[in-house]
Structure formats: structure tokens, C-alpha cells
Amino acid sequence: MKLNLILLLLFTIVALGITTYLNHFSRPQILSVPQPTDQEITNFPPAPTFSFTTLDQKSYEITEFKGKIIILNFWASWCAPCVVEFPKLLELASQEPENIILIAISVDADKQNIDTFFNKMGADFQKNIHQKNVLIGWDPNKAISQDLFQTILYPETYIIGRDLTLRRKIVGADTDFSSEAFRKNLLKELH
């Protein structure tokens, strides 16, 4: 009886220690990414530098797109708002192939889910997904989405200026990226 009580106490202490360790060290490190405000353009923080690989195994570094407006979108196939937003982002990219680069990074754990997501979309989506200014990346370990950008809610979109500075952060799918007003304001703001 006494031995059972000691073993139970020892087991409880070990379990609490493991739980505390995992809670502390398994969380992603939250880095403070300054949020753009209505300050002068020179006050916007630089976008984190990162490289990524597209689904067709081509590697890129964000700095390769200096001089273009970068729309960096974090999404997932299981995200209902992403189903609504993704075609709008593709439409915007199709309207401005010389000015805009769309980098859409999936956080899906399984690549097959991405393929299934794309196959369910309509003909316009299929046409627009293959534009030269649309790059689809995959971040299953969330090294870019969570570690660099602290993104945990999807969709989340960053507008990165031609000078590679963070200009806007858009959380959720409420923005109509395909609207003429959004496109004109984007080009005007980031001339």
C-alpha cells in the first residue's frame, strides 16, 4: 500500500514535469512583427527574409521579387474562408501580372489535401492557378507561417511593398481582393 502510494506520487510528479516541459518548449516562439500603421513608407518594417519551395519543386527566396508587390497568403485546404478568398486572390494576380506576385503558402499537413482542394475548384481557378506570377508553396512544419509571421488563423495575407517592407496584414476572408477598388488602391499605395 505504501509502495503504491509512493509510485503514484512519483508518477504524478513525472507527468506534471513532462506536461510543463511540453507546454513551455513545444509552443512556437512568438516574435513581434510590427504592424504597419499610417506612418510614412520609410517607417514600415522589412518583411522577414525566407525561402520556400513550390509544389512543382522550384525554390525561391522572397528577395527575388523586390520591385514587385508581393501578396503573401497563408491558407489551408480545410479552411472554409480560404475557399472563398483564394479565387479572389487569383483574379487579382491575373489582372496585374507585371506588378503583383502572389505567393500562396499552404499549411496543410498532407500534400494530397492540397491537390484535392485544387481539383474541386472551377475552371477559372484552374486557369488562374497556373499563371507565372502565382507561386504555390507548402509549409507543413509551419516554419514560415508560424515561426516567422506568427500566423495561426487562416486565411491571413500580408501585402509586401516593392521595397520588401510589410505594408498590410489582412486576417480573414472579408477583403474583396478581386474588386477594382482594391486593385487600384493597392497599386496607388505601393507605386
- 60 in the same domain as 138: yes
- 14 in the same domain as 40: no
Q: How many CB atoms neighbour CB 138 within 10 A?
A: 19
- 82 in the same domain as 17: no
- With H, G, I as helix, E, B as strand and everything else as coil, classify residue 36: coil
Separation between Cα atoms, residue 186 and residue 156, nearest integer Å:
17
- 19 in the same domain as 41: no
Task: Assign residue 147 the CATH number of its domain.
Answer: 3.40.30.10
The whole model's pTM is what?
0.75
Give the tens place of pLDDT for each residue, 128-182. Answer: 888 999 999 999 999 999 999 999 889 999 999 999 999 999 998 888 888 888 8
Q: How many CA atoms lie within 13 A of 27 on its CB side?
A: 8
- 119 in the same domain as 85: yes
Q: Name the pairing type of β-strands 59-61 and 51-53.
A: antiparallel
Set of cell numbers at residue 20: 510543463
Q: Which domain holds residue 92?
A: 33-189
**Count of domains for the chain:** 2
Set of cell numbers at residue 159: 501585402
Provide the residue-wise pLDDT of the chain in tens; the chain has 191 residues.
777 767 666 666 755 556 555 544 443 333 333 333 323 334 789 999 999 999 999 999 999 999 999 999 999 999 999 998 999 999 999 999 999 999 999 999 999 999 999 988 888 888 888 899 999 999 999 999 999 999 988 999 999 999 999 999 999 888 888 888 888 888 777 66
- 164 in the same domain as 110: yes
CA–centroid distance for 141 within its chain: 12
